[in-house]
Every structure is written in C-alpha cells, then in structure tokens.
Amino acid sequence: MAAMSGDGEPIQSVLFVGLGNMGNPMARNLIAAGFEVTVVDLDPERVDVLVQAGATAAQSLTHAATTADVVLTSLPGPTQVEAVGGELLGALAPGSVWIDLSTNDLDCGRRMERAAGEAGVFLLDAPVTGGAEGAEAGTLNVLVGGDPDVHRRVIPILRAIGDRYDRLGPFGAGYVAKIASVSLCYLHSVCLTEALLLGVKGGVEPTRMLDVIQHSTGRSYVADRYGPEILNGGYDDTFALELAVKDLRLAVEMAGSLGADLAFTARVLDLYRSTVGTYGADAPHLIAMQAIERANDLVLHQHQVATPAGATND
C-alpha cells in the first residue's frame, strides 16, 4: 500500500541516494514507515544492507529516477550534490520532488534550484541535524527551505526521518541554518577541550572536570556526546576529519558571501585543516582536539590524576 502525501495523494516510489552513516538509517526509517524505497550508493555492500531491510536496489541512478515520485539525496557535499543532481534532473519526471538532505552551500544549491525549475522538478533543501543516533531513532531535526506547498506535500516523508521538520523560509534557508548550527559544534569542541585542559592542569581529574562542565552553565550536547570521546581517546570515529573541514570551509565561505565576519570560525577552520596532514583525512573528526592537547603537553586520555585519600563525590 502506498504512503500518502500531505495533500492526500499517494507517494508510490521513493528513491534514496547516499547510504552513509546518516543515509542508511534514514532510508531504513522510510521503509519502516511503509514507503516503497529504491536505493543507490557507490558501495554495493551498503545497498545490500538496505535490500535486506526491504529496499529495492536500483539498476542505475537514472533508471530509478524515471519512476520516482520523490528522491532524497544524502551526500558528502556540494561536489557530489551537483554531480548527482545533474543525472537526476535529466531523468526525473516533471512534477516530482527532490529533497536534498546534504550539507550544501548556497551557490551549488541555487544552481540546482534553477536547473530543477527548468526540468519542472520541485527542489527542497532539507539538511538534517541530530547525529547518527538521531538518524537511527528517527528524531532528526530536518531544516527545510523551499516552497510551502511542496513542503506540505512531503511531510509524511519528513516525519519518517525526523521529529522536527519545519520550513524555515525560502529555498536555501535550510542550508544556511545547517551550516550555522554545525559550525557551532566544532567551535564548542575547541572550547570544551580548552576548558578540560585548564581544569586538569590545575589538578582536577579529567572525568571529574568533564562532569563539572556537564552540570554547569557550560553544559552542551558537545560536552555530553564528545567529552567522553576526547577523554577515552576514541575521538568519535562516526564522522571523518575531512568532513569537518568541509563543513567549516562552507561556513567561512558562506560568511564571506553574506558579508559576515566570523573570525573565530576561521581560526577553528585553520586548526582543523592543519591536522589533516598529521592524522589523515579519514581520521576521527575530534582528533583535531589532540593538536590542542599536544600544544599543552597534556593528552587527556593519557592523563590521570590520583584522587586524594578521603575524597568523595559529595
């Protein structure tokens, strides 16, 4: 049985392109919600995993696009969005909807919007926040920009992947909101690391210092989610360093195009860029924090301070 659109029309076919750490669980949640989902990814193993969950493997991207009512893309960045978008817009039927879930920039997005309009395809920018755990749980915040009527039409799809899916404004609003919010995550990570180092250098045991931060006015998602990863030396391998650099670069470039001066963001980008040569593009994104640790001659996961006799948690 086909799922229904927000206007009561059946959505017969959904094409999902990009089955990475975010795309895979989003596609599975669409399957669980009753949509007929066809999937495409460069990695055949990722496709096989989704086929086992109930998806159909596309013969090719263009072949699948010809019969899709709605296509969703979850891709690494503008280069991939433009390449895939070119293929999609040559195959999608007029009246179909393309929802781009990727972290993208305005220049690429606007080129794709113009091309979509010429092809008679409706394009929404709808990047997501909430991390891999939110993608798994179907609780992502979907940041939507575009035509309100098209947004209403695909609300059942957005509801399957997120618990917030409000339209923020015209096309491009979602891209801007995503880049602004995700850049704050990296800035928070730097500030968290410096706060931990200050406390530990002053004699506070690392896990206790993190606990203080988590129960103070400095508490944040970053402290809760990434603080333990910094202290255990894992540095969160669910997201690559090169993708963090890409996000920060998009933030700085967008700031320039909009006339905003984001001096601290630019410095954090320089920090992240400098670590790629040391640790590699595929290293965990939080490995950039180790550059701060080493500059302070104190790698937190290697450092333990003995708890004084008689000390308690009171």
* Residues that are catalytic: 178
Q: Judge whether 14 and 20 are in contact, CB under 8 Å.
A: no
Cβ burial of 215 (10 Å; 0-12, 13-18, 19+) is exposed
Residues near 279 by beta carbon (within 8 Å), at least 6 away in sequence: 241, 287, 290
Query: What does the alpha-carbon distance between residue 215 and residue 223 come to, in Å, rounded to a whole number?
Result: 10
Question: What residue type is assigned to position 87 of the chain?
Answer: E
260 phi and psi angles, rounded to 5 deg: -105, 140
CA 76 vs. chain centroid, Å, equals 9
Whose structure tokens read 């404004």? 169
Q: What is the dihedral of CA 284, 285, 287, 289, to 10 degrees?
A: -160
Residues near 164 by beta carbon (within 8 Å), at least 6 away in sequence: 140, 141, 142
